[in-house]
Structure 1
Amino acid sequence: MILRLTLAAIAFAATLAAPLRAEIAIQEVTSPGGIKAWLVEDHNIPFMALEIRFRGGTSLDQPGKRGAVNLMTATLEEGAGDLDAQGFAAARDGLAARIGFGANSDEVSISVQALSENRAEAMDLLRLALTEPRFDAEAVERVKGQILAGLRADERDPSAIAARLARARSYGDHPYGSAGDGTTDSVTALTRDDVLAAWQGAMARDRVYVAAAGDITADELGLLLDKLLSDLPETGWPLPPPATLNTAGGLFVEPFPGPQSVVLFGHGGIAFDDPDFFAASLLNDILGGGRFSARLMSEVRDKRGLTYGIGTGLSVRDLSAEWMGQFQASNDKVAEAITVVRAEWARMAAGEITETDLATAKTYMTGAYPLRFDGNDAIANILVGMQMLGLPSDYPKTRNDKVNAVTLDDLKRVAARLLKPDDLFFTVVGQPEGLTSSE
C-alpha cells in the first residue's frame, strides 16, 4: 500500500511540476534496433510514462472471430512467463507500477507508469506480457465470462442499443459496423487458439507507435524499446480497407420501454489532414461543442427545455470521419428536439455565424489546448496520438496558430461545404411520440 501511495503521490506531483503549456521539447528517438519513438525528457520527478500503440485494433478481427482482439487484450495481464494471473498482479503491485491494456476499433494500446527506481523491473514484467503471455484456459474463460456479462447488459441499455444500430446502419459489414467486443454468439465461440492468433496478428512491429515522457534519456529509451519489442512478430494481419459511410439522411426508431428516448444523429465529417479541419473544429464548438453557450445547448436545452444536455463532435478515425451528436429527451419532446436540431444545422450551413461566435470559439480552443499537457502520462498519450495522425513533432507549437488563422469567411465556406441538414440521420431508441422510421 505504501508503494501504491508513493506512485500516486509522484504522479500527482508530476502534474503540478509540468508546465501547463504546449511548448514542450519533443525528441525523435530511434533505438539501436530501428524502433522509432518520441520522448519528452523531464528529470524533475523520478517517474516515467510510456505509451505503446499497435494500429489496427479490433478492426483486425478475422471473419467469424469478432471480439478476438478485445478478448486477447483483456487477457494479456492474466499471467505471463512463469507468473499466473495472481502472480502477475502481485508483481505489478509490488513494483508500484501501472500497466494497462486496451483496444478500440483502430488500435491496441498499452499504458505504463513506473517509478524510476523500479523501471527496469516494471519493463521486464511488461516484456513478459507482450512476448510470453500465458493465455491460460481458465483465464481466457474467466475473461470471456466478464465480457459476456457486459454484452448481456448492453442488450438492456438503450444507449448501447442506439450505438449498435447506428454503427450497423452507417458501415454495414465493415468492422466499423459492429462493436469490437463482439456479440454473445461470437465471443462464446472464441477459443484459446483464437486468442493466440489475435496476439500474433494484432501486435507486430510493422504497426507500432511509441511515446514516453519523464525521467528517462533518449539512449535509455532506445535500449528499453529493443528489449520490449524486438521479439514481437515483424508483420501482422493486413489492415482493413477504408470504410464507406451510408450518407442517406433519415430516421430510424427502435421501440424500447421507458419515459425517455436516446437519440444519436450525424452525417459525414472531415479527415484530420484536410486543410479545413480547424475551421470545422471551430464550427463544431459553436454548434454543439462542450460549452453551455453552444447553439444546440442554447436552443434545445435552455430556450425550450427539451433535454438536459446535447452535444456534437467530430469523430475522426483511421478509416472514416463523421460529424456526430447525441441527446436524451422525454418521449413527448423528441420530435420537437429533432426539428430544432435540423433547423440549427441549416442556420449554420447558411452562414449564420458572427465574428463574436468565432472569437469566443478561438479563445476556448486555444486556451484549453495547453491544459492537456498536464503530466507525463498525458504528454505521452498526446505524443503517440500525434504520431498515429502523421503530425510533425513541432505540432504543439503551431497548433494554436492554425486555429487563430481561421477567418469568418473560412467558417462560412466550410459550413456550406460540410453541414448538410438533409443528410442527417437520427437513430432513436425509445417510444417517441409522433415519430416513425423512414427506412
Structure 2
Amino acid sequence: MKHLLFGLALMMAALPAKAAIEIEEVTTEGGLDAWLVEDHSIPFVALEIRFRGGASLDAPDARGATNLMVGLLEEGAGDLSAQEFARARDSLAAKFSYNVSDDAVSVSAQMLTENRDEAAALLRSSLVAPRFDEAAIERVRGQVLSGLRSAQTDPRDKVSRAFDELVFGDHPYGSPLEGTMDSVEALTRADIAAAHETALTRERVYISAVGDITAEELGPLLDNLLGDLPQEGAPLPDAADLDLPGGVQVTEFETPQSIAAFAQAGVEREDPDFFAAYVLNHILGGGGFESRLVTEVREKRGLTYGVYSYLSDKDAAQLWAGSVSSANDRVAEAITVIRDEWARLRNEGVTEEELRDAKTYLTGAYPLRFEGNSQIANIAVSMQMDGLSPDYIANRNDMVEAVTLEEINRVARERLNPEQLTFVVVGQPEGLDETIN
C-alpha cells in the first residue's frame, strides 16, 4: 500500500505547479537556513540539499575522491550494510539520490508524510555516518574505472576533456571530476573519508523543501538531519585563469564525424548585463530551431544535426560556450559559419522581431519549469546558490521583458568576441589549417 501511495504521490507531484509559488525563508534553531514552499495537497515532501564546493575541493593528489565518496553514500550507513540500507529505504517508499558536479554535492530526497521522520533518519545516516566498507569501495571504484575506460573511446567525452584541459589548465576544472585511471586506482579509504569531511559541511549548505511540511516541522527535521556534520571544510578554489587564445586545437581521433566545443569569456550571473546576454544567447544559439546558428549551420547548409550555444556560470569561471558536430570533411565550414555568425551578431545586432520572438518564448516557457514538488525544490536551491531572492520567480519574466533593443545590441557589441572564440575539435577534420587562422 505504501508503494502504491508513493507512486500516486509522485504522479500527482508531476502535475503542473500553481502559478504563484510562495517561498518562506526558514532559520532553524541550529542556525541552518532553508527555503520552504508549503503544499499540503498531497502527503509528500521533496527535499533538496546542496553543498557548495563539489569535486573542485579534491586534494591535488586525490582527484576523484569526492566523486567516489558520493557514490558510496548509500552503500551502507551506520549499522546497515548496503543491502540493508536499500531495503530500509524501499520499505519506507522513499527515494534518495546523490550527485556531484565541479561546484556542488547534491542530495535529493522524496518521502511520504507518514514516513517522513523514519526516512529523514535513514537519510541522515548516509550523510553523517557512511560506512565506506572496503567491499563497497572496490565495487564503486570498479564502476568509476569502467566509466573512465568507456570515456577513452567516446569522442564527446574526449572533446570535453580536451577542452577543459586547454581552457582551465591546472585549475580543478581542468581535469575530470571522476579522476583518472591512475588517481582512482590510488585512492584509499582515508582519502574518501577526508573528502567526506571536506565536502559535506554546514557552512556551505543550501536547502529547499517543497510539499506537505510546515516551517515548525522543517526546522527540527533539518537540525537532526544535518546538525552533526562538520561546520567548516576546505577553502574553495580561486577563480580559474582562462586560456582562450582563439583559433582551433585538434585532437586526432578515428571517427567519421568531428565534434567541436567552443567558447569565449562569459558573463557572471550578478552582472547587470546578464539578462541581455541571456536573451542574446537565445537568439544566437540557445533557441533551438529558431536560433541563428541552427538556421545558418543546419537549415541553410546542412552541415550538422546539432549546434547550440549557452552561458556557463560556474563558481570559478564564466564562459559563453557551445558545441557542434559535423562530418570530417565539413566541420571546417561549420566552424567558419559559427565564427561568421558570432561576428555578424556583434557588428549588426539583432532585429526588433528577433527580440520580440525571444521574449515571447522565454517568458512563455518559464512557468513550465515548475512541474512538481521536486522540480520546484531543485529550482529553489539553485536560486539560493546563485544569490537570488525568493521573489525572483515572480519577477524573472519582467526582467526578460525589460531588455531593450538598444541594450541587447550594446551587449552584443561589447561582449561577443569572435577573435577570442576558441574551438577544440576531436576527430579527423579536413581543411582546418586552410580555413582557420
Q: TM-score band, normalised by the shorter chain?
A: over 0.9
TM-fit CA distance, 1:6: 3.2
Corresponding position of 1:348: 345
> Corresponding residue for 1:313?
310
Shift of 1:352: 3.2
Code of the aligned partner of 2:13: A
The alpha-carbon distance between structure 1 residues 98 and 415, as it changes in their structure 2 partners (threshold 3 A), is same
Q: Decide whether the 8 Å contact of 2:63 with 2:177 is kept in 1.
A: yes
Q: How far 1:340 sits from its partner (Å)?
A: 0.5
1:196 to 185, 193, 197: 193
Cα shift at 1:232: 0.5
Matched, 1:31 2:28: yes
For the 8 Å contact 2:53–2:105, the answer to whether it is kept is: yes
What amino acid does structure 1 have at the position aligned with 2:343?
A
Which residue, 208, 213, 223 being the options, matches 1:211? 208
Q: Write the distance in 2 (CA, Å) between the matches of 1:233 and 1:436.
A: 54
**Which residue does the alignment assign to 2:86?**
89
Q: Which residue of 2 aligns with 1:104?
A: 101
| Aligned residue number for residue 248 of structure 2 | 251
8 Å CA contact 1:253, 1:436 repeated in 2: no
**Letter of the structure 2 residue corresponding to residue 428 of structure 1:** V
Alignment of 1:51-130 (within 5 A): 51-130=48-127
Per-residue deviation at 1:3? 3.9
Q: Deviations over 1:274-302 (max 9, x none)?
A: 00101001111001014201100000000
Unmatched tracts of structure 1, length 5 or more: none
Note if contact 2:349-2:412 (Cα within 8 Å) is conserved in structure 1.
no
* 1:371 Cα deviation after fit: 1.0
> Structure 2 residue aligned with 1:416, among 413, 416, 422?
413
Corresponding residue for residue 17 of structure 2: 18
Contact 1:37 1:210 in 2 (8 A): yes
* Paired residue secondary structure (1:52): strand
Q: Please say if residues 16 and 368 of structure 2, whose CA atoms lie closer than 8 Å, have aligned partners that are also in contact.
A: no
Rounded to whole Å, the distance in 2 between the matches of 1:332 and 1:263 is: 13
CA contact (8 A) 1:159 1:262 kept: yes
Distance 1:316 1:128 in 2: 33
Identity %: 56
Matches within 5 A, 1:168-187: 168-187=165-184
Given the alignment of the two structures, is residue 366 of structure 1 paired with residue 368 of structure 2, yes or no? no
Following superposition, the deviation at residue 435 of structure 1 comes to 1.9
The Cα offsets for residues 30-49 of structure 1, whole Å up to 9 and x where unpaired, read as 01111110000010011000
Q: Which amino acid is 1:7 matched to?
A: F
| 1:7/1:115 contact within 8 Å kept | yes
Question: Is the 2:66–2:199 Cα contact (8 Å) retained in structure 1?
Answer: yes
What are the Cα deviations for residues 339-394 of structure 1, in whole angstroms up to 9, with x where unaligned? 10011000101133100000000011111111111110011111111111111111
Superposed counterparts of 1:131-280, under 5 Å: 131-280=128-277
Which amino acid is the alignment partner of residue 228 of structure 1?
Answer: L
Q: Describe the SS at the equivalent of 1:321.
A: strand
- 1:174 & 1:59 partners in 2: Cα distance? 8
3-state DSSP of counterpart to 2:15: helix
The alpha-carbon deviation at position 418 of structure 1 amounts to 1.0
Match of 2:323 in 1: 326
Contact 2:349/2:413, CA 8 A, preserved across alignment? no
The CA distance in 1 between the partners of 2:253 and 2:433, in whole Å, is 13
The amino acid of 1:172's aligned partner reads G
CA distance in 2, matches of 1:105, 1:64: 17
For residue 266 of structure 1, report the CA deviation from its aligned partner.
1.1
Output the CA distance in 2 between the equivalents of 1:287 and 1:375. 31
The two structures, once aligned, show a CA RMSD in angstroms of 1.3
1:224-269 Cα offsets, whole Å, 9 max, x none, are 0000011001111111111111132110111111211011111110
Deviation at 1:118, TM superposition (A): 1.1
Q: CA deviation at 1:434?
A: 1.1
Asked whether 1:41 is paired with 2:41, we answer no
Displacement of 1:436 after TM fit?
4.0
Asked if structure 1 preserves the Cα contact closer than 8 Å seen for 2:251 and 2:425, the reply is: yes
Q: Output one character per residue of 1:290-329: Cα deviation in whole Å (capped at 9) or x when no partner.
A: 4201100000000000001111100011111001111111
Which position in structure 1 is the counterpart of 2:6?
Answer: 7
Tell me if structure 2 keeps the 8 A contact 1:51–1:381.
yes
Q: Deviations over 1:26-83 (max 9, x none)?
A: 0000011111100000100110000001000000001210000000001000000110
Q: Does the 8 A contact of 1:253 with 1:435 survive in 2?
A: no
Aligned partners of 1:132 and 1:436: how far apart in 2? Answer: 56
Distance 2:244 2:257 in 1: 27
Question: How has the CA–CA distance of structure 1 residues 344 and 17 changed in structure 2, closer, same or farther, with 3 Å as cutoff?
Answer: closer
Confirm or deny: 8 A CA contact 1:252 1:436 kept in the other structure.
Answer: no
**Farther-moved stretch of structure 1 (8-17 vs 258-267):** 8-17
1:173 alignment partner AA: D
Per the TM alignment, residue 5 of structure 1 is displaced from its structure 2 partner at its CA by 4.4
Give 1:283's match in structure 2, choosing from 248, 257, 280.
Answer: 280
SS at structure 2 position matched to 1:246: coil
Aligned 8 A contact 1:97 1:122 in 2: yes
Deviation at 1:432, TM superposition (A): 0.9
Per-residue deviation, residues 122-158 of structure 1 (Å, max 9, x unmatched): 1010011111110001101110000000001001111
Give the TM-score, by structure 2 length.
0.98
Whole-Å Cα distance in 2 between the matches of residues 436 and 196 of structure 1?
49
Q: Equivalents in 1 of 2:113, 2:17: separation in Å?
A: 17
Residue 300 of structure 2, aligned match among 299, 303, 314: 303
Structure 2: distance between partners of 1:98 and 1:294: 38
How far apart are 1:11 and its partner, in Å? 1.4
